[in-house]
Amino acid sequence: QVQPVESGGGLVQAGGALRLSCAASGRTFSIYSMGWFRQAPGKEREVVAAISCTGSSPYYADSVKGRFTISRDNAKNTVYLQMNRLEPEDTAVYYCTASPWRAPRLEADFSSWGQGTQVTVSS
């Protein structure tokens, strides 16, 4: 089991960039797929991106394709979300999460969740 802890959120102007980091405790980080979800006020939590345990075949929601990049460093037990060309619609609490499945996509596929980090994009 791993326990994710997010960092890197903040306030940024539209068109700007942020990089979120997620440090996960536990010696088994490298066998977990990792994902980023977000939840905007009044909306359901939605998947943003996911990455397999080896870092291959990243998955992106259509709304962030071409703007966000997920990556991981298994030596550091860390997964990243580079967010470029941010839009006000990206404003949300971003959650890092871990899954024992190979290609998780649904919230139910993920078993460990961080507390979240706030990202606010001003127009």
pLDDT (mean) for 37-52: 97
pLDDT (mean) for 64-86: 97
The predicted structure's pLDDT at residue 67: 98
The predicted structure's pLDDT at residue 52: 96
How large a percentage of the chain has pLDDT more than 70?
100
The predicted structure's pLDDT at residue 117: 98
**Is pLDDT at 27 greater than 90 in this prediction?**
no
The predicted structure's pLDDT at residue 1: 83
**Is pLDDT at 99 greater than 90 in this prediction?**
yes
User: Mean pLDDT for the chain?
Assistant: 96
pLDDT (mean) for 104-121: 96
Per-residue HEC secondary structure of the chain comes to CCEEEEECCEEEECCCCEEEEEEEECCCHHHCEEEEEEECCCCCCEEEEEECCCCCCCEECCCCCCCEEEEEECCCCEEEEEECCCCHHHCEEEEEEEECCCCCCCHHHCCEECCCEEEEEEC
